[in-house]
Structure 1
Amino acid sequence: MILSQKKKREFPTAFTVLFIILILAAILTYIVPSGKFSRLTYDESTRDFIITDHNDETKAIPATQEVLNDLHIQLDLSKFEDGTIKKPIAIPGTYVQIEQQPQGVVDVIKSPIIGVMDSVDIMIFVLILGGIIGLVNKVGAFDAGIGALSKKTKGKEFILVVLVFALTTLGGTTFGLAEETIAFYPILMPIFLISGFDAITCIAAIYMGSSIGTMFSTVNPFSVVIASNAAGINFTSGLKFRIVVLIIGSIITLAYMYWYAKKVNQDPKNSLVYDESERIRERFLKDYDPDKVIEFTLRRKLIFLVFTVAFLILVWGVAVGGWWFEEMSALFLGVAIIIMVLSGLSEKDAVNTFVAGAADLIGVVLTIGLARAINIVMDNGMISDTLLNYSINTITGMSGSLFAIAQLVVFSFLGFFIPSSSGLAVLTMPIMAPLADSVGLSREVVINAYNWGQGLMAFITPTGLILVTLEMAETTFNKWLKYIMPLMIIMGIYSVVALIIGTMI
Structure 2
Amino acid sequence: MEKERSRKEIKMPHTFVIVFFVVLAAAALTYFIPKGTFETEDVTYIQQGEEQTKTVLVPDSFTYVEDESGEAVKEGVSLFEPYGGTGFLNYVFEGLVSGDKWGSAVGVVAFILIIGGAFGIIMRTKAIDQGILSIIDRTKGREVLIIPIMFFLFSLGGAVFGMGEEAIAFAMILIPLVVALGYDAITGVMITYVATQIGFATSWMNPFSVAIAQGVAGIPVLSGSPFRMVMWVVFTIIGIAYTMWYANGVRKDPRKSLSGEANRYFKEYNQNQDLNSKFTLGHGLVVLTLVAGIGWIIWGVIEHAYYIPEIATQFFTIGIVAGVIAVIFKLNGMKINDIAEGFTDGAKDLLPAALIVGMAKGIVIILGGDAAGEPSVLNTMLYSAGNLVDDFPAAMSAWFMFLFQSIFNFFVVSGSGQAALTMPLMAPLADIAGVSRQVAVLAFQLGDGLTNIIVPTSAALMGTLGAARMDWGTWVKFILKFQVVLFVLASVFVIVASLMNFQ
Bucket of the pairwise TM-score, normalised by the shorter protein? 0.7 to 0.9
* Letter of the 2:296 counterpart: I
CA deviations 1:343-375 (Å, max 9, x no partner) are: 123323332333233323222222222222222
The answer to whether residue 423 in structure 2 is matched with residue 429 in structure 1 is yes
The one of 309, 331, 340 equivalent to 2:314 is 331
Q: What's 1:18 paired with?
A: 19
CA contact (8 A) 1:126 1:183 kept: no
Structure 2 residue aligned with 1:458, among 408, 433, 452?
Answer: 452
The aligned counterpart of 1:32 is 33
How far apart are the structure 2 equivalents of 1:103 and 1:272?
Answer: 39
Equivalent residue runs for 1:6-405 within 5 Å: 10-41=11-42, 83-87=51-55, 89-98=56-65, 99-106=73-80, 107-118=87-98, 119-274=105-260, 276-282=262-268, 284-285=269-270, 287-288=272-273, 292-344=275-327, 345-380=334-369, 382-405=376-399
3-state SS of 1:85 partner? strand
| Aligned CA distance change for structure 1 residues 326 and 443 (closer, same or farther; 3 Å) | same
Q: Distance in 2 between matches of 1:494 and 1:38?
A: 36
Counterpart for residue 102 of structure 2:
none
**Against the structure 1 CA distance between its residues 312 and 400, is the aligned structure 2 distance closer, same or farther, given a 3 Å change threshold?**
same
- How far the C-alpha of 1:177 sits from its partner, in A, is 0.9
- Counterpart CA distance in 1 for 2:235 and 2:491 is 12
CA distance in 2: counterparts of 1:318 and 1:364, whole angstroms: 24
Q: 1:276 to 1:131 in 2, by over 3 A?
A: closer
Amino acid at match of 1:379: G
Report the counterpart of residue 494 of structure 2 in structure 1. Answer: 499
Alpha-carbon distance in structure 2 between the residues aligned to 1:478 and 1:355: 27
8 A Cα contact 1:38 1:95, kept in partner: yes
Tell me, in whole angstroms, the C-alpha distance in 2 between the residues paired with 1:492 and 1:153: 35
Q: Shift of residue 469 of structure 1?
A: 2.5
State the 1:7 CA deviation. Answer: 11
Structure 1 200/231 Cα, relative in aligned 2: closer, same or farther at 3 Å?
same
Cα contact 1:222–1:421 (8 A) shared by 2: yes
Residues of 2 paired with 1:140 and 1:175: CA distance?
Answer: 30
Could you tell me how far apart the structure 2 residues matched to 1:434 and 1:93 are?
10
Q: Flag the 1:93–1:269 CA change in 2: closer, same or farther, 3 A.
A: same
CA contact (8 A) 1:415 1:453 kept: yes
Pick closer, same or farther for the CA change 1:319–1:18 going to 2, 3 Å.
farther
TM-score between the two structures when normalised by the length of structure 1: 0.85
Q: Residue 197 of structure 1 contacts residue 265 of structure 1 at CA under 8 Å; is this kept in 2?
A: yes
User: Is the CA contact 2:161–2:206 (under 8 Å) kept in the aligned structure 1?
Assistant: yes
Aligned partner letter, 1:406: F
Greater mean deviation of Cα atoms: 108-117 or 185-194: 108-117
Q: Which runs of 5+ in 1 are unaligned?
A: 43-75
Deviation at 1:78, TM superposition (A): 8.2
Distance 1:127 1:467 in 2: 12
Unaligned runs of 5+ in 2: 1-5, 66-72, 81-86, 99-104, 328-333, 370-374
Kept after mapping to 2: 8 A contact 1:458/1:464: yes
Using a 3 Å threshold, how does the CA distance of structure 1 residues 12 and 332 change in structure 2: closer, same or farther? same
What amino acid is the match of 2:52? T
Residue 295 of structure 1: CA displacement? Answer: 0.5
2:372 aligns with none
- Cα distance in 2 for partners of 1:391, 1:493 equals 21
Cα distance, 1:144 vs. partner? 1.0
Give how far 1:121 is off: 2.8
On the 8 A contact 1:140/1:294 being kept in 2, the answer is: no
Query: Using the alignment, how far apart are the partners of 1:288 and 1:331 within structure 2?
Result: 28
Q: CA deviation at 1:153?
A: 2.0
Deviation at 1:286, TM superposition (A): 6.5
Aligned residue number for residue 67 of structure 1: none
The residue that corresponds to 1:66 in the other structure is none
The whole-number CA distance in structure 1 between the counterparts of 2:430 and 2:349 is 50
What's the TM-score once normalised by structure 2's chain length? 0.86
Against the structure 1 CA distance between its residues 457 and 159, is the aligned structure 2 distance closer, same or farther, given a 3 Å change threshold? same
SS for the counterpart of 1:40 is strand
SS of residue paired to 1:462: coil
Q: Residue 6 of structure 1: CA displacement?
A: 8.6
